[in-house]
Amino acid sequence: MSAAVSAIESSRRAVLAAVENGVFSPGKRLPSERSLAAQLDVSRETLRQALKDLAQQGVLSSSPQRGWFVTANMLSDPPNELQSFTDMAHARGLKPTTRVLSSTQRPVRHEEAERLSLPPTSPLLDIHRLRSLDGVPVSVDRTVVSLARAPGLADVDLSDASLYQVLETVCDVQVARSNYSVRADGADDRTAELLGIDPGMPVLVGDEVTFDLRDLPVLYGQLTYRGDAYRFEATLFRPRR
């Protein structure tokens, strides 16, 4: 298989996986060819051929003036949807607010380099935020983002902003999936002060590594929620024997 054919096939699989996993949902428009080609690190010609192949399969359709769309009747298994804090708040009719406690550029640390598949000394943006719903603090987030994979992020004011949306609109990074784990803990003094609870009160700590369309890790985050303000839901499937 030639390099050109391999790049087309790789792009086709990446876009198809995004459709099947609900990143691009039925009836919705895909990002522009320029943006999507940049995210997949391929030429627009390569991407366009991959999109044409998916159109022939009935997965996508195109409009000369409006771009590429996921076919409205495209069927896929409903995934556990990856939502930002802002998306979750709006879905529940709540007003999200974000206070940036600190935002610092620094080199990657050893554990972060392993989680993000980065070489030593790679530049990171280390963001510490307090998230609230209708004015009530519910989460303290610590997120590190690879600046090499999210160019321009360091220049953005993230107060009251969705990080996922900024990654998409400013950095041309489409969040595709996240590896997420949750554990119970007790609030330390600083976390308790920020969340308005007593030290030692229950909190839920979520660790996540989030990937883009090329399946490259973009950010690593640790999100600490008040135990009385967060519930994690998942659909579990028993494997066939």
The pLDDT of residue 152 is above 90: yes
Q: What DSSP state is assigned to residue 29?
A: B
pLDDT given at position 61: 86
pLDDT given at position 240: 59
pLDDT given at position 239: 62
Residue 61, helix vs strand vs coil: strand
The pLDDT of residue 158 is above 50: yes
C-beta atoms surrounding 78 within 10 Å: 7
| Residue found by looking up tokens 């969340």 in the block | 195
Mean pLDDT check: name the lowest of 13-17, 99-103, 205-209. Answer: 13-17
pLDDT given at position 75: 47
The angle that helices 44-56 and 3-20 make with each other, rounded to 10 degrees, is 60
Average pLDDT over every residue of 98-116: 96
What is the tens place of the pLDDT at every residue in 32-87?
999 999 989 999 999 999 999 998 888 888 877 788 988 865 544 455 677 888 88
Helix (H) or strand (E) holding 222: strand 217-226
Asked whether the beta carbons of 118 and 108 are under 8 A apart, the reply is yes
Write the CB contacts of 85 (distance below 8 Å, at least 6 apart in sequence): 96, 98, 131, 139, 141, 162
When the pLDDT of each residue in the chain is averaged and rounded to a whole number, the result is 88
Q: What DSSP state is assigned to residue 153?
A: G
Regarding the domain delimited by 85-226, which CATH topology (the fold level of the hierarchy) does it fall under? Chorismate lyase (3.40.1410)
Q: Side-chain half-sphere of 3: how many Cα atoms within 13 Å? A: 2
Asked whether the beta carbons of 46 and 80 are under 8 A apart, the reply is no
Whole-model pTM: value is 0.76
The pLDDT of residue 236 is above 90: no
pLDDT given at position 147: 96
Write the CB contacts of 111 (distance below 8 Å, at least 6 apart in sequence): none
The pLDDT of residue 88 is above 90: no
pLDDT classification of 199: cutoffs 50, 70, 90: very high
pLDDT given at position 101: 97
Regarding the domain delimited by 3-70, which CATH topology (the fold level of the hierarchy) does it fall under? Arc Repressor Mutant, subunit A (1.10.10)
Percent of the chain scoring above 70 in pLDDT: 93
pLDDT classification of 155: cutoffs 50, 70, 90: very high
Average pLDDT over every residue of 208-230: 91
CATH 3.40.1410.10 residue spans of the chain: 85-226
What is the distance in angstroms between the CA of the first residue and the CA of the last residue of the chain?
36
CATH 1.10.10.10 residue spans of the chain: 3-70
Return the sign of the alpha-carbon dihedral for residues 150, 212, 66, 80: negative
Q: Which residue has the higher pLDDT, 21 or 118?
A: 118
